[in-house]
């Protein structure tokens, strides 16, 4: 009997060794083939070859064949890696916009940033950086030159938006930290509200302060808004949960091939409140760390999840250094919620237009149980306990945003008005709305209705199969009814467009926090979710 056991063990060891040798041989062979190809190109290709560019293109294509999240960052993109993990970079602190051949337009300086301290405002145009014109640069090239080591200085030649005067503006760069706590406030019925935009380093500490402040203001319930939050550091998700569950609670587990990747992650800090009712808002833009949080609240029966199904990203990325100071963000495992389910979409290469997970047959899902015995399923994303659809926008509205027509008008409005009412009160007058409609008539955007666009597809289809002439009169009559002008298209979508426009304008005066304040006024999904939550208390 013992001989048989030893024989089985010996066979397994030999098999594993052979497998490892085969993998090593395949790797060596592949590297040798690549090296020989590069040598042939170097000696024989008809034009000169930029090998750095060629290799980076190859690396990008190679990694994209694995999954969408394994990415290589060369040394010159180190700032992007730092921004991704910490939310910090060295620069002037402003969003910019640049069209080909144009100046760099300041669109949204950050609060207390070097840009604000230097007097830069929305609508100011930078035409040169440190004496070099920006007109022939891409937006990325200009942005890179605006960044730099904290404490260093950069000189902008600026055309001021409100006066038209040209002046040199010296800005001292600083470490720019973009807070993940976009806004927090009190809502109705003693409900505290916190909007979280990401999970970079330090987010949980900011959230702790926000929750403590809301409790001082009388918050007896709490809404954590993770809609549109694409995630970030898993550690911050665990630290967030530590605020609301007992120390030592299992929040998430990871499983992977490499040593040390099969780990159970538990909360390490004492909570601040294990009883306050929590509502977590999610949608198709809530991914990764957001889904860890939503899944943990749901599986532990510690909170209620509302909104629409989350993105479905259950993969873990780790940052690893490479030669020549590069960085590889590599997928090292999958994460699992406390009930044991993985939220990774079954097929992450095929999604809906908004990036969300498509319909999943029940036969491909598995059931799991929460702490109190409720049934939850895997297969892709977190399904809310309270399903409430978000706002849907028409084609003209989406096109106005995509083509930045709303942003252009917001800049124009800012340049024409020294001040506006507080963000909580600001609203466009009827005359101002009419002015916007007139402004849109001179801009390029797709003002067709959804029906009009479908009619065009119908025309193409019937012409292709030869039936167009038989139904031409009917199709053209319907097309004429659906075809409206730009102004009418904007007017019809007023209820969609006006809140977006007011939000964008308010941001120019009161920074990004104003957008959240404005959005709360029109957030039907949030307040419907809260009403249903309160009904079930």
Catalytic center residues: 288, 299, 313
218-241 CB burial, b ≥16 within 10 A, e <16: ebebbbbbbbbbbbbbbebbbbbb
Helices (H), 329-404: 395-402
Query: 537: burial class by Cβ within 10 Å (0-12, 13-18, 19+)?
Result: exposed
Backbone angles phi, psi at 464, to 5 degrees: -65, -40
Closest to 521 in 3D by CA, of 387, 427, 393: 427
Strands 153-159 and 125-129: antiparallel
- Cα–Cα nearest to 124, from 95, 158, 149: 158
Alpha-carbon separation of residue 511 from 89, 182, 378, 427, 460 (angstroms): 19, 10, 39, 16, 46
Alpha helices in 347-467 (DSSP H): 395-402, 405-416, 430-441, 450-465
**Which residue, among 341, 343, 278, 282, has the nearest Cα to 304 in the 3D structure?**
278
Torsion, Cα of 16, 19, 20, 22 (10° steps): 160
Beta bridge partners of 170: 155
* Helical residues (DSSP H) of 343-446, grouped into ranges: 395-402, 405-416, 430-441
């Amino acid at each position: 009997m013992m001989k048989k056991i030893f024989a089985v063990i010996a066979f397994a060891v030999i098999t594993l060794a052979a497998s490892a040798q085969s993998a090593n041989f395949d790797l060596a062979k592949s590297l040798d083939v690549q090296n020989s190809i590069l040598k042939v190109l170097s000696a024989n290709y008809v034009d000169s070859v930029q090998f750095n560019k060629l290799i980076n293109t190859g690396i990008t294509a190679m990694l994209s064949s694995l999954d969408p999240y394994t990415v290589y960052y060369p040394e010159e993109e180190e700032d992007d890696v730092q921004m991704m993990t910490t939310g910090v970079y060295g620069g002037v602190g402003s969003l910019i916009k640049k069209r080909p051949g144009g100046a760099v337009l300041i669109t949204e300086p950050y609060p207390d940033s070097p840009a604000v301290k230097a007097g830069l405002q929305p609508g100011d145009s930078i035409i040169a950086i440190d004496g070099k014109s920006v007109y022939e640069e891409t937006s990325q090239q200009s942005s890179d030159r605006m960044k730099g080591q904290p404490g260093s200085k950069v000189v902008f030649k600026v055309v001021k938006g409100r006066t038209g005067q040209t002046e040199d503006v010296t800005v001292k760069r600083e470490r720019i930290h973009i807070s993940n706590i976009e806004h927090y406030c009190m809502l109705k019925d003693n409900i505290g509200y916190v909007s979280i935009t990401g999970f970079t380093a330090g987010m949980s500490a900011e959230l702790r302060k926000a929750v403590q402040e809301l409790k001082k203001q009388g918050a007896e319930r709490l809404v954590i808004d993770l809609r549109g939050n694409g995630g970030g550091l898993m550690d911050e998700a665990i630290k967030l949960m530590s605020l609301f569950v007992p120390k030592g609670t299992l929040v998430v587990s990871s499983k992977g091939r490499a040593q040390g990747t099969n780990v159970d992650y538990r909360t390490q800090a004492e909570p601040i409140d294990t009883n306050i009712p929590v509502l977590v808002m999610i949608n198709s833009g809530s991914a990764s760390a957001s889904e860890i949080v939503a899944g943990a609240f749901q599986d532990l029966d510690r909170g209620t999840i509302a909104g629409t199904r989350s993105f479905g990203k259950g993969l873990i990325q780790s940052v690893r250094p490479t030669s020549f100071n590069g960085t590889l963000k590599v997928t090292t495992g999958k994460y699992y919620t406390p009930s044991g389910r993985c939220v990774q979409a079954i097929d992450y290469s095929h999604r809906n237009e908004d990036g969300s997970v498509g319909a999943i047959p029940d036969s491909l899902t598995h059931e799991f149980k929460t702490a109190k015995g409720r049934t939850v399923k895997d297969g892709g994303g977190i399904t809310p306990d309270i399903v409430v659809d978000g706002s849907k926008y028409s084609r003209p509205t989406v096109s106005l945003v995509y083509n930045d027509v709303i942003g252009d008008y917001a800049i124009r409005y800012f340049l024409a008005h020294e001040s506006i009412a507080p963000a909580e009160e600001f609203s466009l007058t009827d005359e101002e709305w009419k002015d916007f409609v007139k402004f849109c008539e001179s801009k390029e955007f797709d003002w067709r209705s959804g029906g009009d666009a479908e009619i065009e597809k119908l025309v193409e289809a019937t012409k292709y199969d030869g039936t167009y002439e038989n139904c031409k009169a009917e199709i053209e009559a319907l097309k004429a009814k659906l075809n409206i002008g730009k102004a009418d298209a904007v007017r019809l979508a007023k209820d969609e467009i006006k809140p977006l426009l007011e939000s964008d304008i308010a941001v120019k005066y009161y920074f990004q926090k104003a957008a959240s304040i404005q959005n709360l006024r029109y957030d039907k999904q949030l307040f419907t979710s809260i009403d249903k939550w309160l009904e079930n208390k």
